[in-house]
Each structure stands twice: as C-alpha cells, then as structure tokens.
Chains A and B, each alone.
Chain A
Amino acid sequence: MAGHKHPSYFKIYIILLILFVISVAGPEIADIFHIEGATRLILILVTAFGIAIVKAYYVLAYFMHLKFEKIYAPYILLSMVALMAVFFFGVAIDIMKDDGHHWEKTYEEPLVAPGESGHHEDAGHAAEVTAHH
C-alpha cells in the first residue's frame, strides 16, 4: 500500500462524526418544527439514507483504501450490489401486489403489530393484579 497519498485518517473520522450527527438531527428537526407529509419524507430520506451512503463511501474509499486498490476490487463489490438490485426489483413487482395470474395473497400483516397495542396498559394491569393479591 505504499506510494499513494491519502487524506489524514483523523480528518475522515471527523467528517464521519459530523455526518452521523446530521443523520440523527434530520428526523429530530422534522419533529421539532412539525414538518409533515412529503417534506418530512424527503428530509428523512436525505438525512438518514442519503448520508448513510456518503458515510459508507468515505469508509470504503479511505478506511478500506478501496480508492487506491486495483480497479477490479470495487467491481467485485459493485457486482454484488447489482445482484441485490436485481433481487429487490425482481421480487418487489409481485410482493407489492395482492394478486396476479393464478395467485392471490392471503396473508395480511396486522395494522397494529401483535403485542404492541396497549402494551404498557398490560404491564400496568399486571402490576395492579399483583397489588390486589
């Protein structure tokens, strides 16, 4: 790995920390300023996931030295990511629909996840029962 020039590792670390703070702050800001609807969605997508991609790039390029590696190494990784895209868009077409030729989806995910509605009330009730005994 000799012979290449890379920026200081400490600088990359600070950049990563700043990006991390922004990604946590995004949804908080949406809550504080009561940003709703499409604006909220875009804000969260950009701050949480957009920044995750930038963070991953910095780690890959500078910490893993992929930027200074033989060019086919990143291609190995990219081909795996491409496979994931084939998987995602290949199955998403069916999964997002409820029926098609000769099949229909009979399973329905509950609107409220089981065990999550009134969970705290349940805990309170249990404590109450114990107190009565």
Chain B
Amino acid sequence: MAHQIIATSRSASGIPTGRLAVWWVVGSEIVIFGGLIAAYLLNRFLHGSWAQSAGHTSTLIGGINTFWLLTSSFFVVLAHAASEKRDIRTTRKFLWLTILLGGFFMLFKTYEYAVKIEGGYTLFTSNFWSFYYTATGLHGFHVLCGMVIMAIIAERDIKQGKNWHRVENIGIYWHFVDIVWIFLFPLLYIAK
C-alpha cells in the first residue's frame, strides 16, 4: 500500500491516535462552550431582562435549524457505516448530504441574523444580545469548519479510497457540534 497509516495500526492507547486526538478536541470544546453556557445561566438567573430578551428569538427558525443538524448527524453516521464497508460512493454521498444540511443551517442562521439586525438587535444592544451573537456565532463557525473539513475528506481521501478512519473522526466532531446546539436551542429559543 502506498499510503500506510502508521499511527492507526500501532496504538498503545487502545484508541486509534487520530480518534483519541478528536476526543481531546471535544474535551477542550466542552470547556469553551460550557464556559459560555455557564455564564449565560448565571446571568439568566440574575437578570429578568435576559428572559425578556430571549422572548424575541425565533423558536421556528431555531427549531428548523435543530432539525437540519439532527438529520445531518444521522447522515454523517451513515457515512461512517458506509466507510466501514469501504463503499466509496455511499460514503461520499452521505458526507456531501451532511455538508448540504450544514449549508441549510448556515443559510437559516444568516436569515435569522439579518432579521434580528434589521429589527435593531445587534451585538451591542445589550448583554443578552452580545451573548446571543457570541455563542451562536462561535457555533456557526464550528459548523462552517466542519463542512470544509468534510469536503476535503470526501474529495481528497475517500474519492481515492484512502484514510477511511477520517470519516469517523470528522463524524465525532460533527456530532459534538450537534450536541452544543442541543443545549443552545433550549437556552436561547425555548425557555421563555
């Protein structure tokens, strides 16, 4: 084989090195988003105006975006299942479907931002809206990064039938981005 993956085939940790690294990424992301969410909870408990502001977010758009992300999580796990069978066509199909749904998420997010900014709710309107744009913006950035990495894996690795383990690794990252949204959604859109 021209492209032998050394790290994956000898693993002292019992977990392939790439996947272990992704678990560490996820661990550090827990602290990044967890810190934001903890700060939000404290402010929400303290200030009545935060609950008021949360009343202005669109549950419908938040809900639709939850649906895109949940479904994309399902697609990326199907890509993983296909990659275990070394099925190039199906793996690439589901990777691109996941990217498509990530794109839908970003489109709806853009629309939501546009409506909010037009309505006068900007990054500097109040502490709540600063948090809203910081948390959802950082999350959206993660979605965007995931889409780019997934496209690279689909086109540069899977198309040539190599580095199959990367499908699982990007999947773990993508599911985590989904989990962050699972918590942001009730915090910002449901609890009013």
Contact = CB atoms under 8 A, between A and B. Distances in A.
B27 A60 contact: no
B108 to A, nearest CB: 16
B48 A111 contact: yes
A113 interface: yes
Interface in B52-97: 52-53, 56, 59, 63, 66-67, 70-71, 73-74, 76-78, 81, 84
B23 A73 contact: yes
Interface string B126-157: 11110000000000000000000000000000
Given A64-B172, A80-B31, A70 B14 contact: yes
A48 B190 contact: yes
Contacts of B176: 64
Given A64-B175, A76-B24, A83 B31 contact: yes
A101 interface: no
Nearest to A17: B70
Contact of A119 (B46, B63, B120): B120
B70 A113 contact: no
Interface residues of B, number: 61
B38 A80 contact: no
B13 interface: yes
B185 interface: yes
Centre residue among A2, A20, A70, A116 by max chain B CB count within 10 A = A116
B62 to A, nearest CB: 9
B41 interface: yes
A24 interface: yes
Given A87-B35, A113-B53, A113-B128, A95 B24 contact: no
A59 B27 contact: no
B106 to A, nearest CB: 20
Contacts of B28: 80
Interface in A4-42: 9-10, 12-13, 16-17, 20, 23-24, 26-27
B107 interface: no
A49 B26 CA distance: 21
B186 A116 contact: no
Given A13-B73, A20-B66, A20-B67, 9 more contacts: A1-B168, A9-B77, A20-B70, A27-B192, A64-B172, A79-B27, A84-B35, A113-B128, A116-B56
Interface of B: 13-15, 20, 23-24, 26-28, 30-31, 34-35, 38, 41-43, 45-50, 52-53, 56, 59, 63, 66-67, 70-71, 73-74, 76-78, 81, 84, 119-121, 125-129, 168, 171-172, 175-176, 178-179, 182-183, 185-186, 190-192
